Amino acid sequence: MAILNALRLIGNRTVGAVWRIGFATRFFVMTLLYSGASFRRFHLTIREMFSSGVMSLIIILVAGLFVGIVLGMQGYETLKRYGSESALGSLVALSLVRELGPVLAALLFASRAGSAMTAEIGLMKATEQISAMEMMAVNPIARVVAPRFWAGVISMPLLAAMFSAMGVIGGYEVGVVLIGVDEGSFWSQMQAAVDFRHDILNGVIKSVVFGLAVTAIALFEGYDAPPTAEGVSGATTRTVVESSLAILLLDVILTAFMFQGN
Amino acid sequence: MQRTTLDLWVGTFVVAGLAALAMLAMKVGNLGTYNVSESYELHAYFTNVGGLKPQASIKSAGVLVGRVTDIRLDSQHEYQARVTFSLDKRYQFPKDTVPKIMTSGLLGEQYIGLEPGEDEVMLANGDEMRKSQSAMVLEDLIGRFMYSKASSAAD
């Protein structure tokens, strides 16, 4: 009997998971299909860009500066052993533009803006605002979900670029101003090492993909949350966990494609 | 539809983001050093290119004059490496210019140094540089050194 119960449980879980994946896919396709309104009535998207993009500015800028400062100090410590302190600029810029900028900005975005999106939509559902919209023949996907989705996708690369730029400034402040690495070689080595297409554009592509993943997960978790206080809190937690893992997994895949060999 | 303070904030955000991207491209990246002027292509054969990679810089007297665009093995040409260069049109070189593969610093990356010759005729688009000097391979150098040591000890 115990075996039968265990089998039943496994089957139930599997069917539940597949069901959820199917619903998530349909939700994503619907979001893309009903995206027209978020561009025709762009002020809807603008408002969401304010709450997800502009409000994340402070944390992104401060975090970027700190990461750049730490990179400058740690990089200097290591490069000093090989007598190549002048490569500090290229070390700081390459690690920020290729990896740390897109990934850390996306992780911060997931916990700062993604969780808020989930909680907001989950609560809208719990207080039956979504059902009310459907009663008034307003499509909640077009009115609530799609503008948030596009706001996230547009904001993410801008935030990542600002993160990287702040990081480079932080690295410059520590490396050149405080420690005294030669300013000319700092910038020239950086410019020699960082390629626009290979490094910067690939970083932008990464951050667009991360923005897509984070907002899609956050919106789906919110829309799928059980309409209770517990359900919304669980959905918020799942958003942060799932989108962080998705960012890191996608980063592995994208890095493998972008930076193979040379 | 009216302008709101929200628009101002979002506008500032977008402008700041694009400015950061522009700073990354121009100040951090090499977009500022890309020359938009016209270029012409040359090629040369090397017996060994060492660690030379596409996009490596081509310098003459230390001045950047172009980039390596392509490296491939040419089985029709004694299995030598065919390296294609893209040079800035402002810089013209004589027919007997010799490209040499050099290394910046002890462990730095490899680049091509052009040593201009004295020919009256200039190289044109699609021309081949007849002479070339391949990369120094450390193993070969050590081997040659040991060989000369051994032969001098035998005397």
Q: Which residue has the tokens 């000369």?
A: B148
Is B9 in Cβ contact with A191 (below 8 Å)? no
ipTM: 0.79
Question: Is the distance from CB of A88 to CB of A177 less than 8 angstroms?
Answer: no
A18 falls within a domain: no
Kindly state whether B16 is in contact with chain A, defined as any CB-CB distance less than 8 angstroms. yes
Cα A94 to Cα A96: distance, rounded to the nearest angstrom: 5
Q: Is the pLDDT of residue B137 over 90?
A: no
Tell me which DSSP letter residue B42 carries.
E
Pick from B13, B35, B49, B109 the residue to mutate for testing the A interface (most A CBs within 10 Å).
B13
Task: Please tell me whether residue B26 adopts helix, strand or coil conformation.
Answer: helix
State the pTM of this model. 0.77
What's the pLDDT tens digit per position in A134-163? 899 888 888 889 999 999 999 999 999 999
A24 falls within a domain: no
Kindly state whether B28 is in contact with chain A, defined as any CB-CB distance less than 8 angstroms. yes
A7 falls within a domain: no
> Would you say the C-alpha torsion A143, A149, A153, A156 has a positive or negative sign?
positive
Kindly state whether A43 is in contact with chain B, defined as any CB-CB distance less than 8 angstroms. yes
**What integer pLDDT is reported at residue B32 of this predicted model?**
63
A57 falls within a domain: yes
What is the number of domains present in chain A? Answer: 1
Cα A203 to Cα A193: distance, rounded to the nearest angstrom: 15
**What integer pLDDT is reported at residue B105 of this predicted model?**
67
Compare CB distances from B30 to A57, A162, A194 and report the shortest one's residue: A194
Compare CB distances from A195 to B7, B17, B29 and report the shortest one's residue: B29
Select the more confidently predicted residue: A37 or A102.
A102
What's the pLDDT tens digit per position in A171-230? 999 988 898 888 877 888 888 788 888 889 999 999 999 999 999 999 999 999 998 999
Q: Which residue has the tokens 């200097």?
A: A76
* Domain range enclosing A235: 34-258
Compare CB distances from A158 to B14, B31, B53 and report the shortest one's residue: B14
pLDDT > 70 fraction of chain A, expressed in percent and rounded: 99
A14 falls within a domain: no
A16 falls within a domain: no
**What integer pLDDT is reported at residue A38 of this predicted model?**
82
Is B29 in Cβ contact with A191 (below 8 Å)? yes
